[in-house]
A and B are shown apart, each in its own frame.
Chain A
Amino acid sequence: MKIFFHFGRYFMLMKRSFGKPEKLSIFRNRIFEEITILGVNSLGIVAIISVFMGAVITIQSAFNFENPLVPTYAIGVAVRDSMILEFSPAIVSLILAGKVGSSIASEIGTMRVTEQIDALEIMGVNSAGYLIQPKIIASVLFNPVLIIFSMFLGILGGYIFGVMAGVVSDNQFIEGITHDFRPYNVVYALIKSAVFAFLIASVPAYHGYYTNGGALEVGRSSTKGVVYTSVLILAFDLILTQLLLA
């Protein structure tokens, strides 16, 4: 029964979050601030993860494609499709759920337990709208950028490490990544990443917003936020894949 309580409270909070902002100029600045905090500051971790994922997929594909009937350029195809279809949108989103999600839950949770949210409410500010809406919008706007960045770097990482390790030549890899390319796969990945971005910002924000107690509870909210976001990302990954690809 508790799940319905949380479900209802989450949607009520989202409704409040998307109320009309008090001042558009402040709201716009908040969105840019959040794009920097949640998006731009994640470029480094996304770059590192993507390059290594691409490299590992290349080497694993080469190891599995030892059959002479499978052309070597299939390594490029495997890297491209793996990165675009799953690794960049889903795995990077899971990593961001950990990094960004815990930061959102602990920031809002700390504001709750130190009465900063109450202070906003007393001033007549819609605290949910002021704190949560810019995070969601920034995340939904910038996550697809991060995912495209990840796709590019993953494929580049696979190319560099594949050629360096001698498992594939540069011509074969490039032939692979251009072979039977379907632009719709990128659209599918971007739709997924936008949905995941909404979850990454809103679910931890919900847990942070309703934190009760002190520092210990802020930590618990942060953990809960990350765990529930990760599970929801996996569930929505399955649902969206079935809806968009099947």
Chain B
Amino acid sequence: MIIGESGSGKTTLLKCMVGLNEIDSGEVLFDDRNFYKLNFKEKKEIRKEIGMLFQGGALFDSKTAEENVVFPLSMFTDLTESEKRDRANFCLQRVNLENANNLFPSELSGGMKKRVAIARAIAVQPKYLFCDEPNSGLDPKTSIVIDNLIKEITEEYDITTIVITHDMNSVIEIGDNIMFIYKGEKWWEGSKEEILKTENKEVCDFVYATKFMKDLKSKF
């Protein structure tokens, strides 16, 4: 998980990782393949291994939930229409959305949009899943549902998942390895347990910014 204050550069880092932003220096490695040194065709192949959950869902407005999930299958597989629909239904059921197949994004709630976006991301069985603030704009209950879904899918499909967030509840719920970004730089890295014990001032200011977290700290 990558955490940090708003404006610290989390989303920019994520966009650099997935190739949406050009980098000035450094390298992005996917299984030892340096993304920025690959040609267009090779980059395209890597992108097929990537699923991404955008902050707002980024569902295609003109397509229904089912069509959104079918889209990557239509573009990159030779499945028949019925096979594509079966796969889309399976993915939508996996994210607990059984009756939303024919709804357009404008008819879906924030949480449902995120779930359709997860279904679309896992439709082509990616190796890497990138999530940009999956809980933004969601109520606490739905946030937990989305967090758990990300964790379950990561384990079930053996995916490498990178989550960008500033929600400490998510970090505690689903975080394994945590990286703290401060003013555009990697400031701290460690496990969930370590972050709760760290003495790093900037990290502490961020982690214990809420009363809930302060109370939690006092209990330890």
Chain A positions within 8 Å of B, measured between CB atoms, are 22-23, 26, 110-111, 114-116, 118-119, 121-125
Contact = CB atoms under 8 A, between A and B. Distances in A.
B22 to A, nearest CB: 13
Interface in B26-84: 44-45, 47-48, 50-52, 54-56, 58-61, 71-72, 74-76
Shortest beta-carbon contacts, A-B, top 3:
A124-B47, A115-B58, A119-B58
Contacts of A110: 61
B95 interface: no
Given A22-B75, A114-B56, A122 B61 contact: no
B211 to A, nearest CB: 32
Interface residues of B, number: 25
27 contacts: A22-B75, A23-B74, A26-B74, A26-B75, A114-B56, A114-B58, A114-B61, A115-B56, A115-B58, A116-B58, A116-B59, A116-B61, A118-B52, A118-B58, A119-B52, A119-B54, A119-B60, A121-B47, A122-B18, A122-B51, A122-B52, A123-B71, A123-B75, A123-B124, A124-B47, A124-B48, A125-B75
A114 B61 CA distance: 10
A23 B20 CA distance: 23
Nearest to A115: B58
Nearest to B54: A115
A122 B76 contact: no
Given A122-B47, A122-B51, 15 more contacts: A110-B61, A116-B58, A118-B58, A119-B58, A121-B20, A122-B18, A122-B52, A122-B130, A123-B72, A123-B75, A123-B76, A123-B124, A124-B44, A124-B48, A124-B75
Nearest to A113: B56
A36 B150 CA distance: 40
Contact of B50 (A26, A115, A122, A125): A122
Contacts of B44: 124
Contacts of B76: 22, 123-124
Nearest to A110: B61
Contacts of A118: 15, 20, 52, 54, 58
B49 to A, nearest CB: 9
Contacts of B72: 123
Contacts of B52: 118-119, 122
The listed residue with most B CB atoms (<10 A of its CB), out of A26, A115, A124, is A124
B127 to A, nearest CB: 13
Contacts of A125: 75
A123 B59 CA distance: 13
A125 B75 CA distance: 8
B163 to A, nearest CB: 16
Nearest to A125: B75
A107 B59 CA distance: 14
A41 to B, nearest CB: 14
A26 B72 CA distance: 11
A20 to B, nearest CB: 11
Interface string B90-103: 00000000000000
The listed residue with most A CB atoms (<10 A of its CB), out of B51, B61, B130, is B61
Contacts of A23: 74-75
A26 B175 CA distance: 40
Nearest to B55: A115
A122 to B, nearest CB: 5
A112 B177 CA distance: 32
A173 B51 CA distance: 66
Contacts of A119: 52, 54, 58-60
A188 B19 CA distance: 46
A62 to B, nearest CB: 48
Nearest to A118: B20
Contacts of B19: 121
A122 B74 contact: no
Nearest to B75: A22
